[in-house]
Amino acid sequence: MAYYLTDGIYPSWAAFVKSISFPQLRKHNLFVERQEAARKDVELAFGVLQARFAFFHRPCLVWDKDMMGKIMIACIIIHNMIVEDERHTYLYYYDPSKFITTEDEESFEYSTQRIGDLSCYMTNRAQVRNREAHNALKNYLSEHIWKKFSTEE
């Protein structure tokens, strides 16, 4: 199951990996440091992409995960090409409002059709909301980060 790095406002579900509120051990401090740094980097990257591409600031109309991934990679590549091409014109000024117009937001449409059957939905819902899986994932990631990045012997 995929998971998301989140902060304290999200519930303790399997799909959300929250930081440890009051870390007592060095292992937990390292986990908090790495988790928050990664979350901050992702938020900054999405902020840049969201300002440039409308695809990132609306609900996705594509339900296929592979297609979503390909679209995101294409947007990242295009963004990097634009940065490379326009690097000499930057004057440390970035105005995201020029990429978002009210006409774009007003013309947005989405579908409310059901996808899949009810039993599949209920199974997925139970898996995502599983608090034990959330705690197990957080403990596993904490151990993994400790083994990989700890400077202690």
Can you give the pLDDT at residue 1? 66
Rounded CA separation 113/95 (Å) = 36
Question: b/e per residue, 90-121, with b = 16+ CB within 10 A?
Answer: eeeeeeeeeeeeeeeeeeeeeeeeeeeeeeee
| Neighbouring-strand partners of residue 18 | 6
**C-alpha 86: how far from chain center:** 27
Rounded CA separation 117/114 (Å) = 8
Can you give the pLDDT at residue 135? 87
Any idea what the Cα angle at residue 135 is, between residues 129 and 136, rounded to 5°? 105
**C-alpha 132: how far from chain center:** 22
- Name the pTM for this structure: 0.56
Can you give the pLDDT at residue 93? 52
Nearest one of 45, 56, 135, 59 to 99, comparing CA atoms: 56
pLDDT in tens, 43-66: 888 888 888 887 777 777 777 888
Can you give the pLDDT at residue 59? 77
**Would you give per-residue pLDDT tens digits along the chain (153 residues)?**
678 888 878 888 888 888 888 889 999 999 999 988 988 888 888 888 888 887 777 777 777 888 888 888 898 899 888 888 877 665 555 555 554 555 555 555 555 555 667 888 888 888 888 888 888 888 898 999 999 888 875
CB atoms within 10 A of CB 27: 17
Can you give the pLDDT at residue 96? 54
CB 13 within 8 A of CB 1: no
